[in-house]
Chains A and B, each alone.
Chain A
Amino acid sequence: DIQMTQSPSSLSASVGDRVTITCQASQDISNYLNWYQQKPGKAPKLLIYDASNLETGVPSRFSGSGSGTDFTFTISSLQPEDIATYYCQQYDNLPITFGPGTKVDIK
């Protein structure tokens, strides 16, 4: 199975700060990586697909980059409504696997 790691596991930042989350795959997954946002008590929501493509309707402050084994998810200017846990997900090989998540809150 492909193992996904994320760092940090949690972070606290101020409104307007730039926030960066990294995701690492245990083997080369090309760009077969998605990012999801899960707000407390809610279902996950797809934000970024194929590592860097912004889902329709998702604010442009969210972005993704990377390929191979190392990926980055960025919120360019953190907003109060961005409080959530963010997960990366690989789909290069079955089983589909998710990272452990990064919890983001406001300082």
Chain B
Amino acid sequence: EVQLVESGGGLVQPGGSLRLSCAASGFTFSSYSMNWVRQAPGKGLEWVSYISSSSSTIYYADSVKGRFTISRDNAKNSLYLQMNSLRAEDTAVYYCARDRQTYEFDPWGQGTLVTVSS
């Protein structure tokens, strides 16, 4: 079964940092691009970042560019999102999603909640 499991969310103060992880299983992780997508409480979906299978291509939404860093470890079947200089508006559930083919997000993990508050 293809599965993605996020971890690392929690409560952090404005200006703080957090590192999210996404553990993949049930498929050849190194063959797929991956994405992070977030959803603020009660709001819609916002794409955050993309990384190609070999990490050679990386994209970010303007809202996180310069503050967030996406990375992956294919040997560990893991995806990461390093989040620095966090703001209240970064509060959201963060999902990792496999890029099945050209930004077809399938499947998604269960999400991890990040709350930025003092």
Contact = CB atoms under 8 A, between A and B. Distances in A.
Interface of A: 32, 34, 36, 38, 42-46, 49, 55, 87, 89, 91, 94-101
Nearest to A53: B104
Contact of B108 (A45, A49, A91): A45
B95 interface: yes
A43 B47 contact: no
A44 B61 contact: no
15 contacts: A34-B103, A34-B104, A36-B105, A42-B110, A43-B107, A43-B109, A43-B110, A44-B95, A46-B104, A46-B107, A94-B59, A95-B59, A95-B61, A96-B50, A98-B45
Contacts of B45: 36, 38, 44, 87, 89, 98, 101
Interface string B42-86: 001111001000000001011000000000000000000000000
Given A43-B95, A94-B59, A95-B62, A87 B44 contact: yes
Interface residues of B, number: 22
Contacts of A98: 44-47
